[in-house]
């Protein structure tokens, strides 16, 4: 299973290191065989490439990403190989496990039964209660000093106004180049033009984290960035969005 197929995640090593694999019983012919399915990739030793060749099934994180990574010129430079082995390559959809069920989730302020045809009002009421709890949790600090202390101690940048009519949109995950550019490009427009509130949670490259810190500080009451992978706020967010 491949979560990322960019070169930084492929297990690339200097080509001369292939000699060290020979002691494992790997033959020298496996470096660059005629079918080009060996360990060699643009002169480097590429473990991911060989794993794709040898695996019975190759999975990635979504059907869309499976399509994107097969497009000619993809930055991972394995698009040709993935097209060659497209018959065993597929993307699987994300899903939340039972611990995220809002009817039984202990992290929620107001548990509720989702997708209830019998009581849609109860669903709406439960979501509103959890949305309010999230907005209060990330509410405005009383003073600038308190805001700075919250940034330092809790990794919370920016704040949310209490506004139950504002659409709530979030992003949670690894904040690294290649994953968040599209979200960042659209974030300011969502806030300024659509009145959306944004909740971003995760850690990653310092330069990407800085961009989300700046986004939160530039949009008081509208954007909060929580520099953590703590589960509890995510539960509250999923229940209230």
**Which tens digits make up the pLDDT trace of 105-164?**
998 988 888 776 557 788 888 889 999 999 999 999 999 999 999 999 999 999 999 999
- Whether 96 contacts 238, CB under 8 Å: yes
C-alpha closest to that of 173 among 237, 89, 240: 237
**Confidence at residue 116, expressed as pLDDT on a 0 to 100 scale:** 61
Q: Assess whether pLDDT exceeds 80 at residue 177.
A: no
Long-range contacts of 67-73 (CB under 8 A, 24+ apart): 67/91, 69/5
**Confidence at residue 236, expressed as pLDDT on a 0 to 100 scale:** 85
Q: Is 222 exposed, middle or buried (CB count within 10 Å of its CB: 0-12, 13-18, 19+)?
A: buried
Say how far residue 70 (Cα) sits from the centre of its chain.
20
- Name, in order, each residue with C-beta under 8 angstroms of 192's C-beta and a sequence gap of 6 or more: none
Report the range of poorest mean pLDDT among 9-13, 77-81, 180-184, 199-203.
180-184
Mean pLDDT of the chain: 90
DSSP state of 59: E
C-alpha closest to that of 103 among 112, 94, 95: 112
The CA distance from 228 to 154, in Å, is 8
First-to-last C-alpha distance (Å) of the chain? 30
The CA distance from 114 to 101, in Å, is 8
The CA distance from 135 to 149, in Å, is 19
**Confidence at residue 118, expressed as pLDDT on a 0 to 100 scale:** 57
Strand order in the sheet with 44-46: 12-13, 44-46, 40-41
Report the range of poorest mean pLDDT among 37-41, 79-83, 89-93, 97-101.
97-101
């Amino acid at each position: 299973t491949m979560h990322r197929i960019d070169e930084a995640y492929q297990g690339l090593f200097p080509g001369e290191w292939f000699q060290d694999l020979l002691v494992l019983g790997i033959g020298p012919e496996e470096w660059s065989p005629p079918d080009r399915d060996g360990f060699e990739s643009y002169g480097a030793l590429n473990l991911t490439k060989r794993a794709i060749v040898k695996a019975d099934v190759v999975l990635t994180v979504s059907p869309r990403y499976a399509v994107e990574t097969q497009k000619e010129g993809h930055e991972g430079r394995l698009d040709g190989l993935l097209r060659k082995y497209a018959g065993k390559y597929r993307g699987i959809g994300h899903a939340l496990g039972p611990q995220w069920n809002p009817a039984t989730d202990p992290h929620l302020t107001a548990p509720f039964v989702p997708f209830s045809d019998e009581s849609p009002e109860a669903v709406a009421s439960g979501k509103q209660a959890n949305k309010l709890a999230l907005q209060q949790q990330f509410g405005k600090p009383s003073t600038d000093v308190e805001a700075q202390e919250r940034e330092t101690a809790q990794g919370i940048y920016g704040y949310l106004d209490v506004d139950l009519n504002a659409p709530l949109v979030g992003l949670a995950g690894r904040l690294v180049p290649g994953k968040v550019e599209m979200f960042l490009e659209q974030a300011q427009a969502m806030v300024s033009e659509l009145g959306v509130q944004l909740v971003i949670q995760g850690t990653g490259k310092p330069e990407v984290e800085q961009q989300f810190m700046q986004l939160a500080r530039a949009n008081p009451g509208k954007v909060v960035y929580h520099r953590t992978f703590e589960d509890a706020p995510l539960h509250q967010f999923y229940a209230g969005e």
